[in-house]
Chains A and B, each alone.
Chain A
Amino acid sequence: MNTLSFFSQHSGEILQGTLEHIWLVASTMALAVAIGVPLGIVVARHPWLSKPILGSANMAETIPSLALLGFLLPAPWLGDRADRVAITALTLYALLPIIRNTAAGITGVDPAVREAARGMGMTPRQILFQVELPLSLSTVLAGIRVATVLTIGVATIAAAVGAGGLGEFIFRGLAMVNNRLILAGAIPAAALALLADFILSVLERRLRPAR
């Protein structure tokens, strides 16, 4: 049986694995953006916080993914469900690019624009939402794109702790010494990453303000 017919025979399972994977990634990205963008804004506003905040995010990033998953397993409420462990670890991983890019995007706003905004009587909040965020959208999105592709990759490792997704095919294939099973996980995962990267790049370009 060649790879193609294997894929078509097991298309249901592969689709299900892909959807599981997407759910892990989507939940992670939702959390990471909800936490990371505000933190990025905080870092942009208070540069003295950049060291502790970016430093912590960097530290989380440096821990090897499997080790991070392993650390979280014994945690009381988290360790009970593998997808909680996975989403927590994945979110910690995704934070650094998002925080960093949000901060960079906001501090990168033309100082003349910021001064004009302030001088005309916009409140700090108005400046944030009407000037700084819209102008840094493209940069923030670049960070989200990097984080998404990263998450799709690390999510395959999450199967090692039982979170499901496309990584499970890979691990099962390894245990059974079945190359087609491995590919059943690897190919969709790679395709997902490429697709996400492509779509988000297009979006990034669209949202870049013309200079």
Chain B
Amino acid sequence: MKSSHGRSRQQTAFAVCAAVLVLLVSLAGCVEHRADTIVIGSKNFPEQALLGEILAQHIEARTHLRVERRFYLAGSYICQQAMLAGRIDAYVEYTGTALTAILKDPIESDPAGVFAKVQSEYKQRFHFDVLPSLGFNNTFAIVIRGEDARNLHISKLSEAAPYARNWRAGFGYEFMERPDGYPGLARVYGLQFASTPRILDLGLLYRALLEKQVDLVAGNSTDGLIAARDLAILADDKHYFPPYEAVPIVREDTFARHPEVRGAIAELAGRISDAEMQKMNYAVAGEDRDTAEVAREFLHAQGLE
């Protein structure tokens, strides 16, 4: 039956709309990376950007692939979602965070055990490969002034108990509240301080320590200032703090598409010590240097180009 003008105009308009919508959805849905590109992500603090940059530069040097950087994603959840959706191919996570925040398992303190659990569950649940640690453990660090460590001849937390009575401690709010923070620490090592620990802004902890307003702080083991100033970490010999080893996490199918990436990342395993990481963090955060440059310097120094 013949349709008249208005009717068929409506129908054409509809058809066009529907076609455009279908086109858009399917086009957007099958967004593929360009065949020779992979995407490295990172969380939103300088250490993460450094690690991402190191990974990216090394892959670019060792393979013919182009690496896209998607740094400063807002956190573990965002990175995990980006991995699941295939928007990034890899990023560096910390084993303790992977265990508790992503896998939602209870925290443990045995580094090997944690790594094994994370590796097997990530493989099973998400089809992600967890690669061996880059060499450092970004966990909580109990830090005292270097001179005190030398004068008292202490290097381990278990040696600290007798002196704690004379010290004032400074902690961030979170460390005070977390069950695996101050309360557990005091219990495990029998630490009793001269008075209740002061709660300080994270950015001011080290300054307060250096200016002798406090004698002991809880920071992160890879904080840049630890290397730059005369500070010492008391070793967690009773393994109270959970492990937060830095491990590259890569999508299984990224390795399937580009097997050469596995070899490139493997060369980085164990290369970055706590001290090395501290130095690089200080260069970027403390000396305001360019992340890519610091990363390049590190790779060059390691003979890895």
A and B touch in the complex (CB under 8 A): yes
Q: B35 at the A/B interface (Cβ < 8 Å)?
A: no
Q: Is the CB of B25 within 8 A of A168?
A: no
Report which of B25, B34, B70 forms a contact with A27, defined as CB distance below 8 A: B25
Could you tell me the distance between the alpha carbons of A206 and B78 in the complex, rounded to whole angstroms?
Answer: 43
Q: Select which of B34, B37, B73 is within 8 A of A172 by beta carbon.
A: B73
- Given that A134-B10, A207-B13 are known contacts, is A162 also in contact with B28, CB under 8 Å in the complex? no
For the residues of B in contact with A, the DSSP-based class is: helix
Contact with B along A5-32 (1 / 0, CB 8 A): 0000000110010011011001101100
Asked whether B255 is an interface residue with its Cβ less than 8 Å from the other chain, the reply is: no
Beyond A19-B28, A19-B31, A163-B81, is A30–B21 a contact (Cβ under 8 Å)? yes
Decide: A162 near B77, CB < 8 A? Known: A16-B31, A83-B85, A175-B44: yes
Note all chain B residues with C-beta closer than 8 A to A23: 24-25, 28-29, 31
A130 to chain B, nearest CB (A): 11
Taking the complex as formed, is A82 at the interface, i.e. its CB lies under 8 A from any CB of chain B?
yes
Contact A81 B28 (CB under 8 A): no
B87 contacts the other chain (CB 8 A): yes
Asked if residues B25 and A30 are in contact (CB atoms below 8 Å), the reply is yes
Interface residues of A in 168-211 (CB under 8 A from B): 168, 171-172, 175-176, 203, 206-207, 209-210
Interface check B204, CB cutoff 8 A = no
Give the total of A residues in contact with B, Cβ under 8 Å: 31
Q: Evaluate contact between B84 and A81: CB separation under 8 angstroms.
A: yes
A24 CB to nearest B CB, Å: 8
Nearest Cβ on chain A to B15's Cβ, whole angstroms: 12
B27 lies within 8 A of chain A by Cβ? yes
**How near does chain A come to B79, taking the closest CB pair, in angstroms?**
8
Closest A residue to B75 by CB, please name it.
Answer: A162
- B244 proximal to A (CB < 8 A): no
Check A40 for interface membership: any CB of B closer than 8 A: no
Segment 48-77 of B: residues with Cβ below 8 Å from A: 68, 70-74, 77
Q: How far does the alpha carbon of A207 sit from the alpha carbon of B17 in the complex, in Å?
A: 12
Judge if B6 is at the interface, Cβ distance under 8 Å. Answer: yes
- B17–A164 contact, CB under 8 A? no
B156, CB-defined interface residue at 8 Å: no
| Contact between chains at A160 and B29 (CB < 8 Å) | no
| A to B CB contacts below 8 Å, 11 in the list | A16-B31, A20-B31, A22-B24, A23-B29, A134-B10, A161-B78, A162-B78, A162-B79, A164-B85, A172-B44, A176-B71
